[in-house]
A and B are shown apart, each in its own frame.
Chain A
Amino acid sequence: MSRVRPGRDDSPDRLYTLTGGRSSSGSTAFDVVTLVVAESDPAPGMQSEHAAILRMCRFPTAVVEVAAGLGLPVSITRILLADLHDTGRISARHPRPTSYRLPDHDILEQVLVGLRNL
């Protein structure tokens, strides 16, 4: 890939501009594998990154895939997603929470079946 690596050569100033100066997405917990689904089409005048996210997420798309598609660090992507989530333009399918630090047996069984079918 010849594309410029996100974050590495960018001035932090540029990234801060994208997020309106925020460096944290607040309480909205977007996991790297939270699946994002667009609930609306891009609108004229929308910030280009927001419009790109809506185009990318017509089908479920993980936060980390959005970050790779935008060419932006994950933390910046989370802030942009939180903007869209707060205004109802995307919905978020968060990973099923586990009740304990180890995964559920049922989930592991499903993963095993899926892997064996590869």
Chain B
Amino acid sequence: MDSAISEQRQTLSSTADNGLKIVVVGGFGVGKTTLVRSVSEIRPLNTEETMSQAGEGIDDTVGVAAKTATTVAFDFGRISLDARNVLYLFGAPGQERFWFLWDRLFSGTLGAVVLVDTRRISDSWYAVDRLEHHGTPFVVACNDFGGPSHSPAEIREALDLADEVPLVFCDARSRESSKQVLISLVEHLKNVVAADPEHGPRPVPEPAP
């Protein structure tokens, strides 16, 4: 590795002022980190968030309960889009406890990619359900593991996927293929924004009870 170049690439431009995020959700071993690494300008980094069962902001002796902390690990990469915008790509596990941390970590995310291994489609049910629940726009990307091929219709049916959610196929090891997954998400986001009659400069409406 050329350390001089990689060192340079580690540092953001001093004009960078707007961080953006896209979350890649998927089960263990589905290729989240591989996809992030394929397009990231930095070697993917790993960090964690912890959440105590007792919740936040409890500082008295009840805080002893915080010793049963839940920890969720996630990794991330980075793409400098231009002089000001920096896109952070998060690879996040789809397991149940992770979704308790969604708002704290990923509120304001542009959108999500659900990365699917077609040999284990049922692993992705929960992620699709939670993203719909959070109202986060997403695309489904099937990572090619060379298993038996499924038609898009079969995969849509297995995931009970709404017609408007794009379904794409990719090879997460390929930079070009991973880049196309992200482009398909952003194009989908543009469609969602254009189609949303409530989109405009106004406060967030309260969801109906």
Binary per-residue interface labels of chain B (96-127) against chain A in the complex, 1 for a CB within 8 Å, 0 otherwise: 00000000111110100000000000000000
Interface with A: B27-35, B153-161, B198-206, which one?
Answer: B198-206
Among residues of A, the one whose C-beta sits closest to the C-beta of B64 is A12
Query: How many residues on the A side are at the interface (Cβ–Cβ under 8 A)?
Result: 52
Contacts known (A5-B73, A22-B59, A68-B47); A118 close to B110, Cβ less than 8 A: no
Is B56 on the interface with A (CB-CB < 8 A)? yes
- Contact-residue size bin, chain B (C-beta under 8 Å from the other chain): 35 or more
| In the complex, B139 has a CB within 8 A of chain A | no
User: B69 on the interface (CB 8 Å rule)?
Assistant: yes
Q: With an 8 A cutoff between CB atoms, is A33 at the interface?
A: yes
Residues of chain A within 8 A of B110, CB atoms compared: 103, 107-108, 111
**A106 nearest CB across to chain B (Å):** 10
Is residue B132 contacting chain A, with contact meaning CB distance below 8 A?
no
Cβ–Cβ < 8 Å partners of B56 in chain A: 23-24, 75
Interface residues of A in 65-97 (CB under 8 A from B): 65, 67-68, 73-75, 93, 95-96
Q: Could you tell me the distance in whole angstroms from the C-beta of B85 to the nearest C-beta in chain A?
A: 6
**Is the pair B46, A1 in contact by a Cβ cutoff of 8 Å?**
yes
B204 touches A35 (CB 8 A): no
CA distance A22 to B51 in the complex (A): 14
Give the contacting residue for A100; candidates B48, B107, B200; CB below 8 A.
B200
Closest to B22 in A: A111
Query: What residues of A have a CB within 8 angstroms of the CB of B36 in the complex?
Result: none
**Least distance between A75 CB and chain B CB atoms (Å):** 6
Q: Quick one: given A5-B48, A21-B59, are A115 and B204 in contact (CB under 8 Å)?
A: no
Identify which of residues 178-198 in chain B touch chain A, using a CB-to-CB cut-off of 8 Å: 179, 182-183, 186-187, 189-190, 192-194, 196, 198
CB neighbours (8 Å) of A75 from chain B are: 49-51, 56, 104
- Given A23-B57, A73-B50, A102-B196, answer yes or no on A7-B71 (Cβ-Cβ < 8 Å): yes
Q: Which of A35, A73, A96, A100 contacts B12 (CB 8 A)?
A: A35
Instruction: Check if A110 is an interface residue, CB within 8 A of chain B.
Output: yes
| A67 to B104 Cα, complex, angstroms | 15
A66 — nearest CB in chain B belongs to which residue?
A: B47
B190-A108 in contact (CB<8A): yes
Chain B hits for A53, CB < 8 A: none
CA distance A84 to B71 in the complex (A): 25
Is the C-beta of A2 less than 8 angstroms from some C-beta in chain B? no
A99 within 8 A of B: yes
Closest A-B pairs by Cβ, 5 of them: A114-B81, A33-B19, A68-B45, A68-B47, A93-B17
A interface, CB within 8 angstroms of B = 1, 5-8, 11-12, 15-16, 21-24, 31-35, 37, 59-62, 64-65, 67-68, 73-75, 93, 95-96, 98-105, 107-116, 118
Given A7-B50, A33-B21, A100-B198, 18 other A-B contacts at CB below 8 A? A6-B47, A31-B19, A35-B16, A59-B11, A60-B13, A60-B16, A64-B45, A73-B49, A93-B19, A101-B204, A102-B199, A107-B18, A107-B110, A111-B20, A112-B187, A114-B81, A115-B79, A115-B179
